[in-house]
C-alpha cells in the first residue's frame, strides 16, 4: 500500500482515477495464466509488475521513461490493480524475480525501490563521496532512498519527524539520523554536521512541509530532487536563494522496467534490503489504511491475498 492509494481512498486524489478502481500498483506474485501469443513468461513464474502499462515505441519509452508512456495507463489508477486475488496486465508489465527474493519483499521493488533508485542515481546523480540528505526517511520512499544513497557510496543524513522511528531507521540504513521535531530547523543540524558546507544532494520525499529547510541545507551547486508531496501546500521562495547557491531543483516520479531490475539486483546482492514493517491480510485493508494515515508505520505495509 502506497500513499497514492491512501490519497485515492481519502478523496484527495481524483484526477484520472477510474470509477470503482481496484487500487494497488505495487504488485508481486506468480503467473496464474497467460493469453495467446505471450512469450517469455510461463505459469508459475515469480514476477513483479511495472507501475504503468507502456507501448515501448514512443519517445518516452525509447528513453527509458516507460512510466511516462504517451499511451500508458497507471496500474491501480486508470486500470484495476493489485488489491485482489488476481490482476491482469500486458506481458511487458512484468519483470522476472531473481531467486532468493521473497514475494512479500518483492512487492516494494517497483515502488518505492525502483522509484527511489531512479531518483537517487539518475536524477540527483549521487556519486561516491558526496553527502546526501533524505527527508521522510521513516517512510517507504525515504528509507529505501537512504539505503540506496549509502549503497552508491554517499554519506547519508536521514531526517524523520517521528522519534519512534529513529532506532529502526538506524538499523535499516547506514546513515546519520536527524530528528525534525519542530524545535530546531534541521537545516541547522545539517550545517553543523557538514561544517557549514551543506549537502551535495537532497532527496525530498515530503515536499512543501520541509521544502524551506531542505533548500537551506544545500551546499553550493547543491541538487534538490523532489520525490513526494504530503500536505499539498504552496511554498514561497526568494529566487536569489537558488541563484546564489547555483542550485538545481528537479523532480522524479516513476520507475521503468530497467530500474526495477536494477533494484532487484541490489537486493539480490545484499546491498539494499526491502523494508516491510507490517503485513495485513487483504480483507483488512482498512487496518493498513488507518495505520498509514496515522503515520505509525515504518517503511512499507503489504497486503496479502
29-54 residue pLDDT tens: 999 999 999 999 999 999 999 999 99
Residue 229, pLDDT score? 86
Q: What is the mean pLDDT of the chain?
A: 94
The Cα–Cα gap between 247 and 220 comes to 7
239-295 residue pLDDT tens: 999 999 999 999 999 999 999 999 999 999 999 999 999 999 999 999 999 998 888
Please tell me the CATH code under which domain 125-251 is placed: 3.90.180.10
Grid cell 482498512 — which residue?
Answer: 286
3-state secondary structure of 127: coil
Please, where in the chain does CATH 3.90.180.10 lie?
Answer: 3-111+255-304, 125-251
What DSSP element (H or E) covers 9?
A: helix 3-10
pTM of the model: 0.94
* Residue in this structure with the C-alpha cell 517503511, named with its chain if needed: 299
pLDDT band, residue 13 (cuts 50/70/90)? confident
Residue 110 has what pLDDT? 96
pLDDT at 267: 96
Residue 200, sorted as left (phi over 0), alpha (psi -120 to 50) or beta, turns out to be: alpha
The fold for domain 3-111+255-304 equals Quinone Oxidoreductase; Chain A, domain 1 (3.90.180)
Amino acid at each position: 500500500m502506497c500513499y497514492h492509494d491512501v490519497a485515492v481512498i481519502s478523496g484527495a486524489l481524483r484526477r484520472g482515477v477510474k470509477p470503482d478502481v481496484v487500487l494497488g500498483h505495487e504488485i508481486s506474485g506468480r503467473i496464474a495464466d497467460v493469453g495467446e501469443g505471450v512469450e517469455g513468461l510461463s505459469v508459475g513464474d515469480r514476477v513483479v509488475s511495472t507501475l504503468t502499462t507502456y507501448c515501448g515505441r514512443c519517445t518516452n519509452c525509447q528513453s527509458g521513461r516507460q512510466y511516462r508512456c504517451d499511451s500508458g495507463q497507471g496500474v491501480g489508477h486508470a486500470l484495476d490493480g493489485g488489491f485482489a486475488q488476481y490482476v491482469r496486465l500486458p506481458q511487458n508489465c512484468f519483470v522476472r524475480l531473481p531467486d532468493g527474493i521473497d514475494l512479500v519483499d518483492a512487492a516494494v521493488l517497483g515502488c518505492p525501490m525502483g522509484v527511489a533508485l531512479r531518483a537517487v542515481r539518475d536524477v540527483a546523480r549521487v556519486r561516491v563521496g558526496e553527502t546526501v540528505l533524505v527527508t521522510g526517511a521513516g517512510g517507504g520512499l525515504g528509507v529505501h532512498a537512504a539505503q540506496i544513497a549509502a549503497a552508491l557510496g554517499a554519506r547519508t543524513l536521514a531526517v524523520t519527524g517521528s522519534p519512534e522511528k529513529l532506532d529502526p531507521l538506524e538499523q535499516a540504513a547506514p546513515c546519520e539520523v536527524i530528528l525534525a521535531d519542530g524545535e530546531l530547523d534541521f537545516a541547522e543540524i545539517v550545517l553543523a554536521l557538514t561544517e557549514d558546507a551543506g549537502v551535495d544532494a537532497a532527496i525530498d520525499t515530503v515536499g512543501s512541509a520541509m521544502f524551506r529547510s531542505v533548500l537551506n541545507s544545500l551546499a553550493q551547486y547543491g541538487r534538490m530532487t523532489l520525490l513526494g508531496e504530503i500536505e499539498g501546500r504552496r511554498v514561497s521562495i526568494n529566487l536569489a536563494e537558488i541563484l546564489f547557491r547555483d542550485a538545481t531543483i528537479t523532480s522524479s516520479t516513476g520507475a521503468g522496467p530497467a530500474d526495477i531490475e536494477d533494484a532487484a539486483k541490489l537486493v539480490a546482492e545484499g546491498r539494499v534490503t526491502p523494508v516491510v514493517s507490517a503485513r495485513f491480510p487483504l480483507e483488512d485493508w482498512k487496518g493498513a489504511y488507518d495505520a498509514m494515515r496515522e503515520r505509525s508505520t515504518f517503511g512499507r505495509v503489504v497486503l496479502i491475498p
